[in-house]
Amino acid sequence: MDLLLILTYAALCVFLFKTFNIPLNKWTVPTAVLGGVILIGSLILLMNYNHPHTSQGTQFFVSTPIIPGVRGRVTEVPVEANVLLKKGDVLFKIDPTPYQAEVNRLRAMLAETEQDVLELEAGYKASQASVAKAKAERDRTLAQFKRYEKGYKRGAFTKSDVDNRRQFYLSAEASLEAATAEERRAKLAFESEILGENTTTAQVQAMLRKAEFDLDETIVYAPTAGYVTQVTLRPGMMALPMPLRTVMTFVHQEEQFFVGAFRQNSLLRLKSGFKADMIFRAIPGKTFQAEVVEVLPAIGESQVQAQGTLYSSDMLSRQGRPLVKLRMIDDITHYALPQGTNVEIAVYSDSFEHVSIMRKVLIRMKSWQNFLYLDH
């Protein structure tokens, strides 16, 4: 752009000198040169500050490393590389045999504990019957004891007979108390089991839920809409639930954003809603419209974390660039660009809008320059 402005200004000066017959002397020539420096320099400085440009731009996308939740041998990989998937589509399967066996074992154990509930209920009912029987025996011996006691006063029975009946009554009373205690114990055990407070049943249920979860984890599904790229997983391979041993990389299919790193000098001229132009090295001669979404509120080079190392002056020498998030307005899907393509970005602020034409011309010139490169 500066060369174009210089040539344009030089042509204008030649035209004026020829048209108005301005003499070439030590006053007119330096004046024209100095005027050009001031004019062109002012325009370029105004353009750079009010309509910033950066060549450090790229398209970001989110990917998820696929890690199985359980260990096992891969039995099936139905997914195809770079084919769009829906949420819930199967990525791969792991041999479920050991996990299905564990689920079956715990279900049998749970059924056994449920059978214990029926046994506790039967024991509780039996203890109730024992209490009723002991109460009847107590009442019968009490009645006999009172009858013998009255007969003793009338001389019908001896004192030994009364004492025997009294002992029978006391024995029946003790049997009733024992039966009542056994009933309370059986009732407490039965009600605890019914309310789910039995520790054995609770433990078995927890283990069964964990085993069923592990069984479900033998089938790995797509987390969202997207695709898997570079599929190298094959049936027969061992899949491990380890963060450092990912088996696939899933790329999410969502709205794509572009991020550019701008100089801090023009930070006040970068605001949400400002229009922008983008050019791709992969699409020479084309310019695409975009819009600023936001200026990210943190600069990565200045971050600090809790650690045992003291801050040093080296941190102050790192001059980071603020990152600006942009949204593409024009449709570029028919170009089939891979995600992560680099871009150059020019943002047009609402200050000195008449100077933005220079940036628009410049960004289009740079787009055509993408045809020219040497790589041999």
Tokens 């797509």 sit on residue: 222
Residue 166, SS3 per DSSP: helix
Q: Where a domain ends, among 162, 182, 213?
A: 213
Q: Kindly report the number of other CB atoms within 10 A of residue 283's CB atom.
A: 17
Residue 107 lies in a domain: yes
Task: List pLDDT tens digits, range 323-334.
Answer: 999 999 998 888
pLDDT at 29 over 90: no
Q: Where a domain ends, among 213, 233, 268?
A: 213
Residue 329 lies in a domain: yes
Residue 146 backbone phi and psi in degrees, to 5: -65, -40
For residue 57, with 0-12 CB atoms within 10 Å meaning exposed, 13-18 middle and 19 or more buried, which class applies? buried
Radius of gyration of the chain (CA): 45
- For residue 330, the number of C-alpha atoms closer than 13 Å in the C-beta half-sphere is 14
The more confidently predicted of residues 138 and 275 is 275
DSSP structure class, residue 311: P
pLDDT at residue 194, rounded to an integer: 62
pLDDT at residue 140, rounded to an integer: 81
Compute the average pLDDT of residues 72-81: 93
Residue 307 lies in a domain: no
Please name the residues in contact with 5: beta carbons below 8 A apart, sequence gap of 6 or more. 40, 43, 44, 358
Whether residues 80 and 227 fall in one domain: yes
- CATH number of the domain encompassing residue 368: 2.40.30.170
Compute the average pLDDT of residues 159-167: 77
Residue 216 backbone phi and psi in degrees, to 5: -65, -30
pLDDT at residue 144, rounded to an integer: 80
Cα 197 to chain centroid, rounded: 36
Report how far residue 208's alpha carbon sits from residue 195's, in angstroms, rounded to the nearest whole number: 19
Q: Are 94 and 247 in contact (CB under 8 A)?
A: no
Q: Are 75 and 93 in contact (CB under 8 A)?
A: yes
pLDDT at residue 196, rounded to an integer: 54
Report how far residue 374's alpha carbon sits from residue 376's, in angstroms, rounded to the nearest whole number: 6
Residue 353 lies in a domain: yes
Whether residues 223 and 89 fall in one domain: yes
Compute the average pLDDT of residues 270-282: 94
Whether residues 269 and 375 fall in one domain: yes
Compute the average pLDDT of residues 127-132: 82
Residue 311 lies in a domain: no
Residue 276 lies in a domain: yes
Report how far residue 347's alpha carbon sits from residue 351's, in angstroms, rounded to the nearest whole number: 11
Whether residues 268 and 232 fall in one domain: no
Whether residues 373 and 295 fall in one domain: yes
pLDDT at 197 over 60: no
Report how far residue 92's alpha carbon sits from residue 74's, in angstroms, rounded to the nearest whole number: 7
Whether residues 163 and 134 fall in one domain: yes
Tokens of 136: 């009847």
Q: Are 262 and 321 in contact (CB under 8 A)?
A: yes
pLDDT at 276 over 90: yes
Task: List pLDDT tens digits, range 100-123.
Answer: 999 999 988 887 776 666 666 677
pLDDT band with cut points at 50, 70 and 90 for residue 68: very high
Residue 332, SS3 per DSSP: coil
Q: What percent of the chain has pLDDT over 90?
A: 41
Whether residues 173 and 246 fall in one domain: no
pLDDT band with cut points at 50, 70 and 90 for residue 133: confident
pLDDT band with cut points at 50, 70 and 90 for residue 306: confident
Residue 158 backbone phi and psi in degrees, to 5: -85, 165
- For residue 195, the number of C-alpha atoms closer than 13 Å in the C-beta half-sphere is 7
Tokens of 301: 């080079």
Q: Are 341 and 58 in contact (CB under 8 A)?
A: yes
pLDDT band with cut points at 50, 70 and 90 for residue 97: very high
Residue 310 lies in a domain: no
Alpha carbon dihedral 97, 99, 103, 108, in 10-degree steps, equals 60
Report how far residue 60's alpha carbon sits from residue 256's, in angstroms, rounded to the nearest whole number: 7
- CATH number of the domain encompassing residue 86: 2.40.50.100
Give the count of domains, the chain: 4
Domain that holds residue 156: 98-213
* Residues linked to residue 324 through DSSP beta bridges, in sequence order: 260, 295
Residue 309 lies in a domain: no
pLDDT at residue 221, rounded to an integer: 95
Whether residues 88 and 224 fall in one domain: yes
Whether residues 238 and 269 fall in one domain: no
Whether residues 234 and 326 fall in one domain: no
Whether residues 86 and 155 fall in one domain: no
Whether residues 57 and 159 fall in one domain: no
> Percent helix, strand, coil in the chain (nearest 5)?
50, 20, 30
